Amino acid sequence: MLTVRFIRENKEKVKANISYKGQDEKLAWVDDLLQLDEQWRKDKKSLDDLRHERNEVSESINKAKKAGKDAKALLAQAKELPKTIKCLEEAADKAQQKIKEYLFGIPNIVHPDVPQGKDETENVERKAWGEQKTGKVKNHVELAESLDVADFDASALVAGNGFYYLKKDLALLNQALIRFAVDFMVEKGYEYTEAPLMVRRNIIDGVMSFKEMDDMIYKVEGEDLYLIGTSEHSLIGQFIDQTLRKEDLPIKLASYSVCFRKEIGSHGINEKGLWRTHQFNKVEQVIICTPEQSWELFDELLANAEDICQALGLPYRVAEMCTGDLGDLKARQYDVEVWRPTIEDYGEIMSCSNLTAAQATRLNIKYVDKKGDRDYCHTLNNTALATSRIMVGILENFQQPDGSVIIPEALRQHMGRKERITPT
């Protein structure tokens, strides 16, 4: 989220960014916001003057009474002032609420290198790694069921579509992936944290857009609590209303959590399998830093994701989101996509985002330097590893003619040195 001050001082830049994002319908918002802000500041000054006047009138009434003078005129004035103040307060609150709505809808300033495009079809491939397996292979559902390591029918009976039972070696593979990713992030210098799986509405409002919230987040009925769609929500939310010391930044965090997503509007949620589910396991990497550190650390997050894919031997590509596919809070985003031989295309498994100061502004997360100067932090995040989609990549890319699946060497230490998942 941009601040009113930034928009006031960079009106044309904000408008140019809106147009670059292909959201010309929001151009009028900037002018409306600035008019509201100007009126709000006038009302604020009037309120301050009226409150000062009210204090002076109260003091004059007390003096008049002590002196035995007639205070009727002053009492009448004192009676009317609260009504005037209340009207102005209501007008100021209404303007402030509308300003907030505009601020939550105006997109963040994108990085100058973000490609312009209308939707995901115009995202740009930046890099590819590994050999693309081709030829006829079993899809991961058929393969997992033939190996008796997953049950999607039982989970549909118990919880509905979008859930799964993992069994035997696939369940162990799931745990091996979590252990591998956690160890990897800790070795990279990230502080491991296990965070709450539920957060309050003000945290959700701070970390994501309204559209994302409606499509993704489950609400706990009767409570001001929401199930997290990623541990990023909890990890960043813990710093709400804090001012951090500049010398303590960057803060690098890694977290494992179960995640929950409604996946409204997504294709394929009614299909069996692990690719798109309502519940899944994920290791996340998050950074809170200064603006000067931001883009170098963005590259670091992406490098971590690539190193994980390469360690697992999974062929992948890096795609950059164009303006039409880039979320409004994000300044730049790369997706890491695994090669899927069953569809002969890539599928997203990791999403690396720099939100610059957008989340920190919403959550009021600042840093202060030794001179006492303050500014908003930058926040960045990337998936280290989501086990369900990585398992799809492993099952599809490493299946063998005899029906077995090669276990990536990096995971074998967490699976009793077992080399294959074999039929039983």
HEC readout, 277-341? CCEEEEEEEEEEECCCCHHHHHHHHHHHHHHHHHHHCCCEEEEECCHHHCCCCCCEEEEEEEEEC
Assigned token pair, 80: 């009317």
Q: How far apart are CA 261 and CA 283, in angstroms?
A: 16
pLDDT by residue (tens digit) across 383-411?
A: 999 999 999 999 999 999 999 999 999 99
- The predicted pLDDT at position 121 comes to 95
- The predicted pLDDT at position 267 comes to 59
The pTM assigned to this predicted structure is 0.90
Q: How far apart are CA 249 and CA 308, in angstroms?
A: 25
**Element (DSSP H or E) covering residue 374:** strand 374-376
Pairing of strands 378-386, 345-354: antiparallel
At residue 144, φ and ψ (nearest 5 deg) are -65, -40
Q: How far apart are CA 309 and CA 384, in angstroms?
A: 9
Helix (H, G, I), strand (E, B) or coil at 399: strand
At residue 340, φ and ψ (nearest 5 deg) are -115, 105
**Averaged in consecutive runs of 10 residues, what is the pLDDT profile of the chain (424 residues)?**
95 98 96 93 83 79 76 75 82 90 96 96 97 92 96 95 96 98 98 97 90 85 96 97 98 97 69 92 98 98 98 98 96 98 96 98 97 97 97 97 96 96 87
- The predicted pLDDT at position 91 comes to 84
| In contact, 98 and 4? CB cutoff 8 Å | no
- The predicted pLDDT at position 81 comes to 79
Q: Domains in the chain, ordered, with CATH?
A: 4-105 (1.10.287.40), 120-421 (3.30.930.10)
pLDDT by residue (tens digit) across 198-250?
A: 999 999 999 988 777 878 899 999 999 999 999 999 999 999 999 999 999 99
| In contact, 411 and 173? CB cutoff 8 Å | yes
What counts of helices (H) and strands (E) characterise the chain? 14, 17
Catalytic residues: 261, 276, 348, 351, 389
